[in-house]
Amino acid sequence: MTETLLERPDTQHAERTYEVRTFGCQMNVHDSERISGLLEDAGYVPAEQGQQADLVVFNTCAVRENADNRLYGNLGQLKPIKAKHKGMQIAVGGCLAQKDQNAVLEKAPWVDVVFGTHNIGSLPTLLQRSRHNAEASIEILESLETFPSTLPTKRESVHSGWVSISVGCNNTCTFCIVPSLRGKERDRRPREILAEVQALVDDGVVEVTLLGQNVNTYGVEFGDRQAFAKLLRACGDIEGLERVRFTSPHPASFTDDVIDAMAETPNVMPQLHMPLQSGSDRILKVMRRSYRGKKFLGILEKVRERIPHAAVTTDIIVGFPGETGEDFEDTMRVVEQSRFSSAFTFQYSPRPGTPAATMDEQIPKKIVQERFERLVALQDRISAEENAALIGTTQELLVTADSGSKGASTGRLSGRAADNRLVHFSVPDGADTPRPGDFVSVPITEAAGFHLVSDPQLEQYSLRRSRAGDAWDRWQADSCGVGTTQVEGAKPGAVSLGMPALRPAVGTTR
């Protein structure tokens, strides 16, 4: 490769605009922040809302079948647009690119670049190579080129940040293709993680979410089974860090020291997202989920004993191959007992490359749909009941920039409670309006199935200005961002953090 390709790939293409469209999980959302950071470091600028970007990057998911359909549907819509837009490029990355590889170009030959989960950092060079050679450029590595958190990052939010503590997965769940796409688990050293968290806090962040495919197995690579609990406690010592969250833990690896760390570390939030997948012990065994319903419920019992107001959310798959009516009723019983505040429910769809895809007894779509609707109705009832129980309580909210779809008509703002519940609130006449990143304490006056509402009187409303709100003000005043910071020990120029972005700059689909 020539030296000119390695310098600054896009200096000769001033003000090329970009858009990132994200499909999938929070790991993908965080990867898209890195993609945005890389592109801006290479001279691209975010496309304005409604503007056709010179570059569209798809960061894909391979977990569910509709992700394939959505990607190729989007690519098909862009084909005639690209034909009319001189110099436009399309790139496809993420899990689906890692899985399909050459198939992406076979199905959509107008794509310019295909890159995998292990070489996000190559994207600017691949784009330049494709332009220079006037042909598609594909590069899929089978192992990590560099740990993703050493790449430039452009955050979606001023007040909150994601921090990857590990990548990859050592489990062999029969429905999941992630291990083959992201590789075996690799853990970052605690010092590197804490340095990144401190860098974010120095930049105005007050809330951090620790990310890992199985976040509570952190430490397996360097042989410390209590490493995750220690990491949570260490985050509690970081001055200015007000909220710590994590996702997603595996029930089989959930240990009491983690529960103790959650309960005893004030800035670790009373929230737990832990995938159940099925309430049937027989189906869990076929899924190769190395826990059973009794263990799952036992973890919840311990968490609620130590953290009484904890909100628990989960993932559930309906219609796994061989699931009988009795198996499904087991799931319904566990859901009833678990009292989840909300649940992400999915109809099983076979994913090529997974053992479950070739199993006998695939469940007919009609039966899966009927079970799915029953489960959703049950969880909706439980969610509404759990939310209604909070009416009359006072909640401290971290104010967000997104006021929701009805914010303009209701005049309400939005925030997240400590347990991560969404609350839409009004500001009483005569009270100061908070900035995104500030905190307000308000009484819950109304509850719905998926959110809470607060319409406080003046004497019931309390505003606490924060460093994150100050960072929002600085960002508003200076569109270049609130500053950049570098993780200790990284190569000079390798890490660029703390560049907040308006949400439209990274199109996120969940």
What are the binding residues for [4Fe-4S] cluster?
25, 61, 95, 169, 173, 176
Annotated binding site: 25, 61, 95, 169, 173, 176
The continuous run of DSSP H or E covering 234 comes out as helix 227-235
Any idea how long the chain is? Answer: 510
| Cβ-Cβ contacts under 8 Å for 109 (sequence gap 6 or more) | 136
Buried b (16+ CB within 10 A) or exposed e, 311-320: bbbbebbbbb
Give me the phi and psi of 246, to 5 degrees please: -155, 155
Residue indicated by tokens 């890389």: 38
Give me the phi and psi of 452, to 5 degrees please: -115, 160
Tokens coding 410: 């209701």
Rg (CA), the chain: 23
Tokens coding 17: 């605009």
Question: Can you name the residues that pair with 268 across neighbouring β-strands?
Answer: 244
At 125, is the secondary structure helix, strand, or coil? helix
Q: Are 16 and 54 in contact (CB under 8 A)?
A: yes
Residue indicated by tokens 């994200």: 22
Q: What angle do CA 431, 433, 435 make, to 5 degrees?
A: 150
- The Cβ-side half-sphere exposure at 37, using a 13 Å CA radius, reads 28
Q: How far is CA 317 from CA 92, 102, 287, 312, 327, in A?
A: 28, 30, 10, 17, 12
Long-range CB contacts (within 8 A, 24+) of 363-370 = 363/319, 363/320, 363/321, 363/322, 363/323, 367/319, 368/318, 368/319
Question: Can you say whether the dihedral through the CA atoms of 336, 342, 346, 351 is positive or negative?
Answer: negative
Residue indicated by tokens 């703390």: 498
At 359, is the secondary structure helix, strand, or coil? coil
At 416, is the secondary structure helix, strand, or coil? strand
At 51, is the secondary structure helix, strand, or coil? coil
